[in-house]
């Protein structure tokens, strides 16, 4: 397993230069053709409660605040799930990119390490902030890695932004629907 310092290591110079080609930040939105939906519900008290997915393969996890933010550290954290999602999604995106480029089999020993860092927001913002790193192991092909960055929904969402709709559900009667919060 790589150390935290390895996950904070700088990308190869060619990747670092190419990864900053986009100067403006856009918002990535979905087309009407949704390919998959996953939903979940968290119960009180949030980071120290239970979360359940309501999808084709149900999953239930008990969450716990990490010791570093005042918890007991005896459960799953959202940051663990984010790092796991990023690593699997990015590896899959690299496989798709390699296939599209006719480089099947070139990623036989590829591994993707991901880290999600939780901290305080800076630059005058309130609350917490996230930072993420992806470290690709056993892949020398910058073209495949950069193409994966464009294909991976997690790297795209975290680098370009995603649409977040917050709605509330009235608790007065079961017939009431959801309404969007502005």
Q: pLDDT confidence of 124, banded at 50, 70, 90?
A: confident
Rounded to whole angstroms, the maximal C-alpha distance in the chain is 58
Residue 86, pLDDT score? 97
25-29, 141-145, 160-164: which is most confident: 141-145
Q: Is the pLDDT of residue 118 over 70?
A: yes
Per residue in 56-112, pLDDT (tens digit) is 899 999 999 999 988 888 899 999 999 999 999 999 999 999 999 999 889 999 999
Of 60, 13, 16, 14, which Cα lies nearest the Cα of 40? 60
Q: Are 2 and 135 in contact (CB under 8 A)?
A: yes
Q: What burial class does residue 63 get, using C-beta atoms within 10 Å of its C-beta: 0-12 exposed, 13-18 middle, 19+ buried?
A: buried
- Residue 42 in tokens: 């968290």
How far apart are alpha carbons 13 and 41 in whole angstroms? 42
pLDDT at position 179: 64
pLDDT for residue 175 is more than 90: no
Q: What digits encode the pLDDT tens for the residues 157-167?
A: 998 888 889 99
Distance CA 56, CA 105 (A): 31
Q: Regarding the domain with residue range 4-19+77-180, which homologous superfamily does it belong to in the CATH classification?
A: K homology (KH) domain (3.30.300.20)
Q: What is the mean pLDDT of residues 144-149?
A: 96
What is the DSSP secondary structure assignment for residue 10, as one 8-state letter? Answer: P
Indicate the average pLDDT of the chain: 84
CA torsion sign, 152 to 153 to 154 to 156? positive
Report pLDDT for 1: 36
At 8, the pLDDT band (50, 70, 90 cuts) reads very low
Domain ranges of the chain: 4-19+77-180
């Amino acid at each position: 397993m790589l150390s935290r310092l390895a996950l904070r290591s700088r990308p190869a110079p060619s990747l670092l230069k190419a990864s900053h080609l986009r100067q403006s930040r856009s918002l990535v939105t979905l087309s009407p053709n949704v390919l998959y939906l996953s939903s979940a519900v968290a119960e009180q008290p949030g980071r120290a409660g239970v979360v359940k997915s309501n999808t084709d393969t149900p999953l239930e996890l008990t969450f716990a605040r990490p010791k570093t933010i005042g918890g007991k550290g005896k459960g799953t954290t959202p940051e663990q799930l984010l790092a796991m999602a990023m690593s699997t999604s990015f590896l899959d995106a690299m496989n798709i990119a390699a296939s599209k480029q006719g480089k099947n089999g070139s990623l036989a020993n590829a591994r993707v390490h991901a880290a999600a860092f939780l901290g305080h927001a800076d630059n005058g913002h309130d609350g917490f902030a996230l930072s993420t790193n992806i470290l690709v192991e056993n892949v020398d092909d910058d073209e495949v890695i950069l193409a994966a960055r464009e294909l991976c929904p997690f790297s795209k969402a975290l680098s370009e932004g995603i649409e977040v709709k917050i709605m509330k559900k009235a608790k007065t009667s079961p017939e009431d629907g959801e309404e969007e919060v502005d």
